[in-house]
Structure 1
Amino acid sequence: MLEPDELVTQFSVMLQNRAGALAALVKLLRNNAIEVVGISVQDSRDATIARLVVTDPDTATQIFIEKGIPFTTSPLVVVALKECGPGLLQVLDTMMVGETNIDFAYALMPSDKGNTLLAMHVEDTDFAMELLNKAGFKLLRQGDLSR
């Protein structure tokens, strides 16, 4: 089982809803040798929430604090799927049988090993990880994403 400091960290960053805001954020991270390996964007009229998974969450946290960029963090369960279609259904079935909810999910950038990576925010991280681990799924740590 993964320790809490090994869990994948997701940043939810609030951005102004204007052209180029997301590109500027990614450029800021990239200029500090941090790559975005997962992204999900939820847009509204006034603001955008960008959910990001990055290669160096500790440095990203420092940058966001120094630049006054509003953000929150939350743990994700990340599963490496051998086959994206059947693998996804197996994960969903496992979660359903365990009667645990997925709050939201999105794919990460393909791994260097060729696996599809599924990131999930779940109602009970420890329980979901135990379910998936017992079902034989490969769970990734934050260190696995730091390329």
Structure 2
Amino acid sequence: MSFGEDDGGSEVEIETVRGRNWPTVTQFSVFLENRVGQLLEVVRAFQGSKVKIVGLTISDSADCSIVRLILSHPEQGREILSLNKHAFAENELVAVELSASPNAIQELCTALLQAEINIHYAYPLVGNPRGRPAVAMHIDNAEQASRTLHDMGFEILCEADLSS
């Protein structure tokens, strides 16, 4: 967050879109023809780079597929996808580390329900450097969800956590 001064000389808190105060991770939605080998082509594009796929889900239809990826190094991943001429879009997701509790998913869903936050979709992350299970979620209000989950004791992950 940035701070400025008003006419009276007192500090005024100013929040900008780029200077938001909640962590997110970047999801790449890659659009593919529904043909054999298309997913392998995308996965191979990252071979030899430091970019690792830490989250993956696929939505399939008769004509096309959408592969949703969370990458360890999104800036380099964006460049690789562009250089390989893959059509993609980007979204910001909230990534949450789960506790060792056998009811961790239930606790997560309960916390979001209490805050009246809807989960549009979610999928697990693989290779969390801390060795704990984690989930990435596309939700209604990332800022409110992050605050709520943090207040309930959940660890919110950022992109730096995925690149360690």
Alignment TM-score, normalising by the size of structure 2: 0.83
Q: Which runs of 5+ in 1 are unaligned?
A: none
Distance 1:12 1:127 in 2: 24
Q: Which residues in structure 2 correspond to 1:77-88 (within 5 Å)?
A: 77-83=94-100, 85-88=102-105
Three-state SS of the structure 1 residue aligned to 2:46 is: helix
In 2 relative to 1, CA 6–62 (structure 1 residues): closer, same or farther, beyond 3 Å?
Answer: farther
Q: Which residues in structure 2 correspond to 1:26-105 (within 5 Å)?
A: 26-83=43-100, 85-105=102-122
Which structure has the larger Rg over C-alpha atoms?
A: 2
Distance 1:54 1:77 in 2: 14
Three-state SS of the structure 1 residue aligned to 2:135 is: strand
1:11-35 CA distance string (max 9 Å, x none): 0000111111111111101232211
Cα deviation, residue 112, structure 1: 3.1
Checking the alignment, whether the CA contact within 8 Å between 1:84 and 1:116 is kept in structure 2 is no
Cα deviation, residue 66, structure 1: 2.5
Distance 1:42 1:62 in 2: 23
Q: Which region of structure 1 is more displaced relative to structure 2, 4-13 or 38-47?
A: 4-13
Distance 1:133 1:30 in 2: 35
Q: Greater relative contact order (Cα 8 A, min sep 6): structure 1 or 2?
A: 1
2:152 matches 1:135: yes
1:5-60 CA distance string (max 9 Å, x none): 95210000001111111111111012322110100000111111000001111111
Checking the alignment, whether the CA contact within 8 Å between 1:110 and 1:117 is kept in structure 2 is no
Distance 2:49 2:129 in 1: 21
1:114-146 CA distance string (max 9 Å, x none): 210111010111011011011110000100001
Checking the alignment, whether the CA contact within 8 Å between 1:100 and 1:124 is kept in structure 2 is yes
